[in-house]
Structure 1
């Protein structure tokens, strides 16, 4: 399996494992989380699609390091996996931190 693909899949597995066995925020079970991920995915398609479009790429990938699956607008599927991991882990840590501090999302410190 290509290296970039392996790392992308491992990032998702690691993120879910961190939530399941360490942070335990319950965030992945909320509608707010999935709505925010839909918003992130929308903007990711716009920006990543523009950056990776095969007709005039700004960012190029070594095709030997990916599966070669590009959905929509020529975006490598691995980008969605890494995007999920980065955004989800950030949100998980944010929720954990605000709960530990006793703060709420909208409060000013």
Structure 2
């Protein structure tokens, strides 16, 4: 699951918005991944909130093994260009459902997400 989440988070979404007439594209490879945040200021509260919501929505849309996904921004030193997130969810592995957390780091310099193992 960890590897699949890293692959999903490290895939950049198409910047084009699908036409309204093709709403099925909203759950297709056309919008797979997260937006590119490398040009954003990672210290900005608005950028943090936007990134948090984007990760949450992307996981809910493209990772069917996870339910009740929440993403929290963790505090970091003011000098860091990395952001830390804690992804919490229920992992559904029939017949068992288990709570899981993934400590995730976004390196704004490299534009790369890493999930702590």
**Bigger strand share:** 2
Q: Which structure has the bigger radius of gyration?
A: 1
TM more than 0.5 = no
TM-score normalized with structure 2 length: 0.28
